Structure 1
């Protein structure tokens, strides 16, 4: 008869293994390939929605009441459980940053865009959020200006206009600067959003004539295509906010500060 001697080290190792196993300390092997991050994990969407900086009431430059768009985007991101970072940029730089991927989305009306911009494969669009209109504006009543071909037209630097290949752009830094230029006779025609035009004309005491509707559309999130997988959750958030009345409430809170004395149709 023969015996196999077990070393004290082996006995200690076996005893330790048995003790740990009996206390449930030894865990089952982890399959590293079974965890797939959700669409919202580890992503912070950078965006810019400041427009010209005087895009009132959509953007106000007031940290306590930043405007319709900052409030709306904050609600959408919170509802979506997506982190966001608002980077305040001039409109022209916003477009450049979005195209280069330095920011991930902006807000835009497809009615502002040319056909080639609407079908740009670099971007996808969310569901609609808010109606938005812009007008051809003059200082005094004038014949209908539904044809701007060849005319010099005041515009905001960096803004999109679906037909700006037909007229001569005269760019100014903001909506307010456009109204001041109209008042001083530096330009005779401008294209302005109805709400910013109403607000700044009231602030600066400049009478305006809303001559002709230039575009009537809705605001959407324009998102870089690499984040297209986030669209379903963003659209669901938009739907939830719409159904609960929160989008209407945000808009109403700011519209009460916009004068309606010169609203289109009330001139």
Structure 2
């Protein structure tokens, strides 16, 4: 990971829970929070990248729970386990997602329910599970990962785009409901981030050139760009931000 651009001392010692933190953007965010001195828990159906487990801070400050985020009971059990290890969850990052491509004619009820469960419902269930921790402390931060896909009306994944739009609505609703308890809820909407999965499955020279042509900033968006924005939203540097969506897409229009 590239060097972080800012340090947030208030994140030191905090318990941060990152869903989908085993790989991709999530893994880079986990590394970023560890670098700030936080205790980090991962909920993911997959095993974490070896690079995460090899980090010096991982032995004492990282907890990994295998969890299918489509299963409400597994979510409750996994959160109880990480709470037993690091105490109350103080920061939640709802990062887990699945952006499998699909056409409208293929998006039957089964696919709809499955993609909504991982891309939208999981964020509701994890927020609901950790809210009592934050309410009891009178503080907390939730960061939901949306996408600019629904803002731009991108084709190729209508159910995914709908779920990402729903996360903005969930963010606003929870910000209003939890704000009186000192809890901030914000949304982070990345553009096309050059993760290993994206490069393996969908990035072609032509597609990348088209994306960069539509961006005001002619540089590829990297996972570190999203991690830096997430640190800001999780820290007290953004203490009077709630119910907001921060777009990090290079100014794509």
TM-score by length of 2: 0.28
User: Higher strand share goes to which structure?
Assistant: 1
State the structure with more CA Rg. Answer: 1
Instruction: Between the two structures, name the one with larger relative contact order (CA 8 Å, sep ≥ 6).
Output: 1
TM-score by length of 1: 0.27
